[in-house]
Amino acid sequence: MNRFIIVGAGGHGKVIADNALKNGYTDIFFVDDNATGECMGFPIIGRCSELEALNDGNTDFIIGIGSNAIRKRIAEEHSINWVSLVHPSVQVAVNVSIGKGTVIMAGAVVNACAQIGEHCIINTCAVIEHDNVVGSFAHISPGAKLGGTVCVGDLTHIGIGATVSNNINICSSCIIGAGAVVVSDAVECGTYVGVPARRSE
């Protein structure tokens, strides 16, 4: 089993470390620009500027940072062995594609023919229904549910517990607030909250 390095020793990084353990990784390390020492007992071995030096051909990397914009910046700055990580409890149907760098957390369901881009977070118990297209660097928060044939643009954040009705398109770089219910397309970049969800800014 390769060495596993998580970029970002914060809360999201910790959940990824547990996910990695459940996937059988044993040599787990963190890299962080703002912390040293250890995280959850795993050593913090360097900074982002050292990622290329750590890319030795026997190491798998993932970004453990919740900010979509920061994940994008780090992924684009470092051409290394980014891998995807799927918790063993996740239900992944047939004909699903999952891009490199994407992490899928415990209890999520990804149904048939869904396409998930690169460096996404499909968080705890999220539901990605059939034929969804989730753009790169998107984050589908814990307990959020996307109905069938939903399209989520790059860098969009679907908040915790939000629901998106089937056949809805949400454009890039949107924020859908916690608990929102989206029943019409979000065609303009911005923050949408409430039931039904309305653009608030």
Site map 84..123 versus ligand COA, x via CB under 6 A: ---------------------------------------x
Residues in contact with ligand COA, counted by CB under 6 A, come to a total of 13
179 binds ligand COA (CB under 6 A): yes
Q: Using the Cα atoms of residue 10, residue 158, residue 138 and residue 134 in order, give the sign of their dihedral.
A: positive
Site map 3..22 versus ligand COA, x via CB under 6 A: --------------------
Residue carrying the six token digits 């620009």: 33
Active site residue 12: no
175 binds ligand COA (CB under 6 A): yes
Rounded to 5°, the CA angle 44-45-46 comes to 105
From the CB of 79, what's the least distance to ligand COA, in Å? 28
Q: Read out DSSP for 93-117?
A: -TT-EE-TT-EE-TT-EE-TT-EE-
From the CB of 159, what's the least distance to ligand COA, in Å? 3
Number of H helices, E strands in the chain: 3, 24
> Which residues are known catalytic residues?
130
Residues at the site binding ligand COA, with contacts judged by CB under 6 A: 123, 141-142, 159-160, 175, 177-179, 191, 193-194, 200
